[in-house]
Structure 1
Amino acid sequence: MIAKDFQPFAIVEDKGFKDYSHALNPSYVLPSRKTLSQKIIPKLVDRERENLQDKVCQASAVCITTDCWSSRATTNFMSVTCHYIEDFKMVTSLLSCFEFSDRHTAENLADELLRVAKDWKIENKVVCCVTDNASNIVKAIKLLKWTHFPCLAHTLNLIVRDALKVIKPTVDKVKGMVEFFHKSSTATQKLKCTQRQMGMPELRPIQDCITRWNSTFHMLKRVLESREAIISTIAIMNAPVDIPNQNEWDIIKEACTVLEPFQQVTVEISAESYVTASKIIILCRGLQTVTNHHQTSELITTGKVAELVTTLSSSMERRFHRMEYNAVLSDTSILDPRFKKLAFNESTAVDDAVQRLTTAAARCNPRSEPASPPSGQDLRVNPEPHTSTVWSFFDERASGDNERRNPSTDAVLEVRSYLEEPIIQRAADPLSWWKSKALVYPRLAKVMARKLCIVATSVPSERIFPKRGRL
């Protein structure tokens, strides 16, 4: 309960909890708060850390995400998470979350990242580091000579935030209404009463956060859902709040329609338990297609939203230009059996990716970590082959065949054969597919473990901070 449910150490001193524990087991003696905090929890932490370090050390490659955060008490923290493939499943581990009081220079950030990596013995296993677009952290990763990939969620935030400036006066009016209800408990209760009378769900207005564009989307959508109740409540209370006119309500409705796909993509790429980086090229192209369609759609009737759409389209065109030629994105896309070459529009980008994967596969030793056959299956039909002269002609032929083969040839054959495999369903798990094919493509399977562990966003490291705040 302490670790998983964020209960305080003092829970063992609460009378209700003592009575509950006694009812479950009268003979059990609860530990004191001091014993819990100074002995039991530290031992638990040490044991879990050892177990986690064993797992992380066994990973062939890891992707790191990191972020910095300042608490309300102006205390700075830094978090570092790592992501790797274990038994053909995506695994996320928090490596560290610590107070970071030094200046956030590139050199200091690089020192802290390297310290954490060395502490977990993964400094030579980092294949990519995903962060926001801040210049100091980008430079820090460059100093470490790690591959950097900018967080797609942050990129989308920049794109949408810049476009929302077009409808800023309307958004400001909505903010004013939301702030009115959040600052007045009387207004909030009156709104709930009005919603009940109108047969509407009791939905409290949502405030937006300047660092997350989708909070603005949720704010607009919530106000739109409770529009009539909000207008009635403000009118009844004769509140000094500027209410949007009909044209502005149309802007809010159409803006939500335009921004809905961006919200869907943000949610999909922010996951940790399944492969995400391989989707980026397809999802970004999908956003461009949907947004460009809105430029000629009859659903967009207001000039401001039309301008919003144009701004979104031009910004994506600039930021997503030649995305297929990004080595991180193209390699992960082509190694995903759901997409392969379908993720690309340009054959040159496909050729470049295939060449990189072939070269990487040729460097792999498929015998260094032999894959286990499926459970209950023994691939050795005859564990002790005969050594009589009857078999000598075959042994000579097999020996000659092995001499003619080389890593480059094997790699070319594996890549070619893999690309000829049929595409699997989009809802299927690509890692499960690779598990079933690990013996067929032993070299590519090793390359895959170094590529598909890369995540699309730095959200995993950001999720640590709300938990830190609760602690």
Structure 2
Amino acid sequence: MSKDFEVYDCLLSIERMLYSHTETNIVSFLKKAVVEFGLKGKITCVVTDNESNMVNAINQWDDVVHLPCAAYILQLSIYCAFKKQMFILSGLNVYFTDDDSDDNDNSTNELPMLDSTNSNQPILHKAIEWLSATLPLSDNAENRADGRKLKKRLLLPYEWDLLKQIVDLLEPFDDATTYFSKTFYATLSIIYPLIKIIISQNSPS
């Protein structure tokens, strides 16, 4: 850190740690690396994810403070927030998706009441739509089979719209994660106000 409290970062090494990843093995592995680079006695704080073995490993290290990675915490919060929704969506997917048998070639997954016409649908959507329409007409039997499977799995317009809404909703979290992953690492003084801003920006009111 400079005299102006700017953080300098430097990548010293990337090494694979062999199994098993117990607390004792982890802290021994890190201490060995510290000695190799002549940094013994100069490590005061270590930032890790919140896995119990990592936390306990650093807590075993005398005179070294453990600091949880704020970006990791943020990603976990997003995962927990969407856990229930993903369970519901997976159930809907099973309900609305037909099997891959040829008996259902004439079936459709369209939900007229939920359909929406959006001229701003992604190019990817248009490309997949084109493939699902042309592959079943191919002279190649394998291509025809692929086309039938693709058509059954093709997202509906309202599902593309929903994906865009989710991406827009998660953009502040993405920005915060990027910020926390750069040179100016998160501290306890900055994580809470930033989470408060994210909550206020996305609250129903």
Shift of 1:108: 0.7
Show structure 2 runs of 5+ residues with no match: 94-120, 137-146
With over 3 angstroms needed to count, the CA separation of the structure-2 counterparts of 1:282 and 1:248, relative to structure 1, is same
1:161 is aligned, of 55, 67, 79, to 79
Aligned to 1:105: 22
Which AA in structure 2 matches 1:283? Answer: L
Residue 15 of structure 2 aligns to a residue whose secondary structure is strand
Aligned to 1:243: 154
Does structure 1 residue 94 correspond to structure 2 residue 11?
Answer: yes
Residue 97 of structure 1 aligns to a residue whose secondary structure is coil
Residue 154 of structure 2 aligns to a residue whose secondary structure is coil
Alignment of 1:376-455 (within 5 A): none
Aligned to 2:47: 130
Rounded Cα–Cα distance in structure 2 between residues aligned with 1:128 and 1:276: 13
Rounded Cα–Cα distance in structure 2 between residues aligned with 1:128 and 1:160: 26
Rounded Cα–Cα distance in structure 1 between residues aligned with 2:13 and 2:33: 7
2:163 is aligned, of 232, 247, 252, to 252
- Would the aligned equivalents of 1:105 and 1:136 in 2 still touch at CA under 8 Å? yes
In proportion to residue count, which structure has more strand? 1
- Would the aligned equivalents of 2:27 and 2:58 in 1 still touch at CA under 8 Å? yes
How many pairs are equivalent?
A: 160
- CA displacement, residues 241-279 of structure 1 (integer Å, 9 cap, x when unaligned): 21223432332122122111111111111112x454354
- Would the aligned equivalents of 2:34 and 2:40 in 1 still touch at CA under 8 Å? yes
- Would the aligned equivalents of 2:70 and 2:186 in 1 still touch at CA under 8 Å? no
- CA displacement, residues 30-70 of structure 1 (integer Å, 9 cap, x when unaligned): xxxxxxxxxxxxxxxxxxxxxxxxxxxxxxxxxxxxxxxxx
Which AA in structure 1 matches 2:68? Answer: P
Shift of 1:104: 0.8
Which AA in structure 2 matches 1:244? Answer: L
Aligned to 2:101: none
Residue 160 of structure 1 aligns to a residue whose secondary structure is helix
RMSD: 2.8
2:124 is aligned, of 202, 217, 226, to 226
With over 3 angstroms needed to count, the CA separation of the structure-2 counterparts of 1:224 and 1:151, relative to structure 1, is farther
Shift of 1:137: 1.1
- Would the aligned equivalents of 1:224 and 1:252 in 2 still touch at CA under 8 Å? no
Q: Which runs of 4+ in 1 moved over 6 A?
A: none
Rounded Cα–Cα distance in structure 2 between residues aligned with 1:251 and 1:285: 25
Aligned to 2:201: 290
- CA displacement, residues 331-384 of structure 1 (integer Å, 9 cap, x when unaligned): xxxxxxxxxxxxxxxxxxxxxxxxxxxxxxxxxxxxxxxxxxxxxxxxxxxxxx
Alignment of 1:74-223 (within 5 A): 85-86=1-2, 88=4, 89-145=6-62, 146-165=64-83, 166-167=85-86, 169=89
Which AA in structure 2 matches 1:154? Answer: Y
Rounded Cα–Cα distance in structure 1 between residues aligned with 2:190 and 2:73: 15
Shift of 1:224: 4.1
TM-score computed with the length of structure 1 as normaliser:
0.31
- Would the aligned equivalents of 2:49 and 2:68 in 1 still touch at CA under 8 Å? yes
Alignment of 1:33-72 (within 5 A): none
Which AA in structure 1 matches 2:36? Answer: D
Residue 13 of structure 2 aligns to a residue whose secondary structure is strand
Rounded Cα–Cα distance in structure 2 between residues aligned with 1:164 and 1:224: 23
Which AA in structure 2 matches 1:115? Answer: K
Rounded Cα–Cα distance in structure 1 between residues aligned with 2:181 and 2:61: 25
Identity across the alignment (%): 26
- Would the aligned equivalents of 1:95 and 1:116 in 2 still touch at CA under 8 Å? no
- Would the aligned equivalents of 2:48 and 2:69 in 1 still touch at CA under 8 Å? yes
Rounded Cα–Cα distance in structure 1 between residues aligned with 2:166 and 2:16: 40
With over 3 angstroms needed to count, the CA separation of the structure-2 counterparts of 1:285 and 1:155, relative to structure 1, is same
